Structure 1
Amino acid sequence: MTELNDFSKPIRDPIWKHIWMNDELYAVTKTVPFMRLYNIKQLGPAELVYPGASHTRAGHSIGVYNIALKMLNILLKKGADVWVSKEGAMSFLAAALLHDLGHFPFTHSLKELKLKEHEELTGELILKEPLRSEVAKIGAAPERTAAIITGEGKDDAETAFFQKLLSGVLDPDKLDYLNRDAFYCGVPYGIQDTDFILSQLIPDKKNGIKIESKAILSVESILFSKYLMYKSVYWHKDVRIATAMMKKAIFTGIEREKFSPEDLYHQDDEGIFRLLEKTNYPEKKPAQDLRLGKIYHIIAEEAFQGENPKHRNLEDLYKRRTAEETLAEYFSNKTGIKIGSEEIVIDIPERISFESDLFIEDEKKVFSESSTVFSKEFIKTLVPSLRKIRIAVSDKIHKKTSNLKQTILPIF
């Protein structure tokens, strides 16, 4: 097939200016499942630190579609038209537009909980009405669209090709969220030369894309930006604690059967708070405070040490809760007042990778083994500088416990 250019409906966007759709794609953005994304902030509680960061999953999803369209047209011109069908192309664009359809509110607050992956929820939504019919009207196959997102159907070469495009170091998702999040947070770190990056892509039927070594700088720019955005925005200390507060409330609520995982699926930001309002248990206090804009105060911090078994234990939410209960008892003994574990949160960011298997055509090597500065040895130095164990406490006990911070971490 040739270039996709039969889109005449413009959507104005502060990042990409005009985004072009046809009537059928636009109709998908007006369905009930997609409209929910307008009620989910892309960065969750980050707006408590960066007030401008009130942009939504809907805006991001439309931005990802935009980059996917540009990427696909470039790859088609460079030879991908040999194996890409019109139905496959439209399925890929629909997948880009709908990739976050099942995403939970509050960014990754619910990520470590025993819930379905948001990609699985997205696939389920695409395969039932009203989206099944609306996706078919685009000229896409609902089953292929869902598979591109969920990672199923890898035995089909065209589906596997599109899966590689949608997920990788140079994927449309990352190119949109780095630029979009930096713009709304008012920081310069995520801005990318997106048009140049896309122009350097070479289609590869097996691996999705590859590049020449002259484009290594573009990949390095993305990885450095990812690092800086995690350091300054995504894993900003107060954003991390706010995320941990919501996670504690939801995790405990599920464990105490105050609500079920199914009650959380397809909620928006406000829906989570309404769900919590119907319950009564002490550990929902952090979420109540968060709704009032009160972020717990950090009283201790230490770099995560992967070789330390006590640190590794805290990656388990059950053991983390036990540690919070231990701290509550410790503080109670030291201060002479009764302190509940709802006044304390421990946060550890999840594991993150800066590696890439992107193939460098002229060097005949994968990216991390090429002439890039992002060698495996260099990457090992990045993550430890980001991952911090933090202990934070509520306003109620902050003054009473802040002078104990030197005695806390040895407990762990």
Structure 2
Amino acid sequence: MKDVYAALQSGYTEPIRDVLWGHIYLTPELAALTKSEPFMRLYRIFQLGPAYAVYPGATHTRAVHSIGVYHLARRLLRNLAERGADAWLTPVGAVSFLCAALLHDLGHFPYTHSLKELPLARHEALTAEIILREPIKTLVAKAGGDPALTAAIVDTGLPVGSETETVFYRKLLSGALDPDKLDYLNRDARYCGVPYGAQDVDFILSRLYPHPEKGVVIDGKGIPSVESILFSKYLMYRAVYWHPMVRSATGMIKKALMGGLEDGVLKPEDLYDLDDPGLFALLANGSHPLFHLAEKVRAGRFYTVVAEFPFDEDLHGNLLDISRRSGYEDALAAELSFSGETLEPGAIIIDVPEPISFETGLYVTDEDCYFSESSSVFNPGVVDSLIKSLRIIRIFVDPEHENRVKSHPELEGILHIRKKWLNLA
């Protein structure tokens, strides 16, 4: 315990002043990671992409979020070490976990999750690659961590054998009450000026107990904390993350990038290691009929909603394939063209929110069951209803054509037809 406690407590002399958590302390070696070129890129990626168009304060970055995740990860691990986790923790493992928390977004794509749906490598895999090459590899080692372990904690696709410590850290970094979620919900709510994401972190940490296979478990007193997380996540998706204007902007960027990838104008490698300005510069300097969408987004000329309806897996399942979706958009544009005028490519965008999950895998010790089977009101049926209420398909149109599309004499019939041909193979 003494060695693990020293790894988590001694030498943390470098303060960073954070809006959300106050002073965050790092060792000089951990602080050096935040000055590295791969980490500095995160200062040029907005955490919430275009959300600033709705909430002007939402200009915080992936970098400040990452520092916050590190801070909560250190607090969490100290608590768990004092409650028995030191039996399977090592000093090198503890520092590797802190490095993983600090660096977990190194491979993240620019412009929030616009690129997540595209045929690209997983950002966790890209993060692991960055950790395993210079300069991060050497900096992690100098901080007292193991670069291979740090990479394996972030990228669950990497093999770890049966190592209890690695599996434990993975479950800490990604779960129902993980430091990532605790930071982004609180931070996003603070910068957006909304109350939905605020969590009682002190109380949450007090209700978590270590388990070598399950990561952390809670007792019945911790159930309200999980419920708060789940409902906060729901409200943040509803009001912030999937606000119609945010969906419009991200849909426009995805449309431009997917067109470039499908036509060979862009390669996946062109999109890795970019920041927000770099993404817009790439599209501004490229040649493709759809790249003008990025300039419209940059200038704040977002597409507007002309129709919306709930996602139905049986009816709209084909729309989940982004490469097939563009064909449906072209067909819909043809249906909506009239009076001798044709909607140009990219004038119509069908937006389908990706599948999301509300993690409920925590074990409740005194009820001897998992959270989804506990006394919580958030049973699987309730969670499923929350997800269904969020997944709204929207049809966006270039505002230049909005009035003409809305005045189409057969608009309602076309929407009905669309619901039929969307289900065709």
Answer yes or no: same fold by TM over 0.5.
yes
Matched with 1:295 is 302
Matched with 2:423 is none
Q: Does 1:283 align with 2:317?
A: no
Q: Is the 8 A contact 1:286 1:343 kept in 2?
A: no
Per-residue CA distance 1:117-148 (angstroms, 9 max, x = gap): 00000000010100110000110000000000
Matches of 1:106 and 1:121, distance apart in 2: 16
Q: Is the 8 A contact 1:300 1:408 kept in 2?
A: no
Matched with 1:131 is 136
SS of residue matched to 1:301 = strand
Q: Is the 8 A contact 1:47 1:53 kept in 2?
A: yes
For structure 1, list consecutive stretches of 5 or more residues without a partner in the other structure: none
Q: Is the 8 A contact 1:154 1:160 kept in 2?
A: no
Q: Does 1:9 align with 2:9?
A: no
Q: Does 1:273 align with 2:277?
A: no
CA apart distance, 1:318: 2.0
Q: Is the 8 A contact 1:161 1:208 kept in 2?
A: yes
Per-residue CA distance 1:79-133 (angstroms, 9 max, x = gap): 0011100000000000000000000011111111110000000000010100110
Matched with 2:173 is 166
* Pick aligned residue for 2:223 from 191, 216, 229: 216
Q: Is the 8 A contact 1:327 1:341 kept in 2?
A: no
* Pick aligned residue for 2:344 from 340, 346, 369: 340
Q: Does 1:117 align with 2:119?
A: no
* Pick aligned residue for 1:354 from 345, 351, 358: 358
Matched with 1:243 is 250
* Pick aligned residue for 2:207 from 200, 225, 237: 200
Q: Does 1:409 align with 2:404?
A: no
Per-residue CA distance 1:243-285 (angstroms, 9 max, x = gap): 1110000111111111100010000001111111222222122
- RMSD, matched Cα: 1.1
Q: Does 1:39 align with 2:44?
A: yes
Matches of 2:381 and 2:36, distance apart in 1: 47
SS of residue matched to 1:342 = coil
Q: Does 1:370 align with 2:377?
A: no
Q: Is the 8 A contact 1:126 1:146 kept in 2?
A: yes
Matches of 1:224 and 1:358, distance apart in 2: 16
Q: Which moved more, 1:382-391 or 1:337-346?
A: 337-346
Matches of 1:398 and 1:407, distance apart in 2: 17
Matches of 1:295 and 1:40, distance apart in 2: 20
Letter in 2 for 1:103: H
Residue correspondence of structure 1 range 257-268 to structure 2 within 5 A: 257-268=264-275
Sequence identity of aligned pairs in percent?
Answer: 53
Matches of 1:330 and 1:336, distance apart in 2: 12
Matches of 2:218 and 2:415, distance apart in 1: 46
Provide the TM-score with structure 1 as the length reference: 0.97
Per-residue CA distance 1:37-93 (angstroms, 9 max, x = gap): 000000001111111100000000000000000000000010001110000000000
Letter in 2 for 1:127: L
Matched with 2:400 is 396
Letter in 2 for 1:381: S
Matched with 1:227 is 234
Provide the TM-score with structure 2 as the length reference: 0.94
Deviating above 3 A after TM superposition, structure 1's stretches of 4 or more consecutive aligned residues are: none
Per-residue CA distance 1:362-388 (angstroms, 9 max, x = gap): 111011011111101111211111011
* Pick aligned residue for 1:101 from 91, 95, 106: 106
Letter in 1 for 2:342: K
Matched with 2:68 is 63
SS of residue matched to 1:129 = coil
For structure 2, list consecutive stretches of 5 or more residues without a partner in the other structure: 420-425
Per-residue CA distance 1:272-302 (angstroms, 9 max, x = gap): 1111122222212221200111110100000
Q: Is the 8 A contact 1:359 1:367 kept in 2?
A: yes
Letter in 2 for 1:263: D
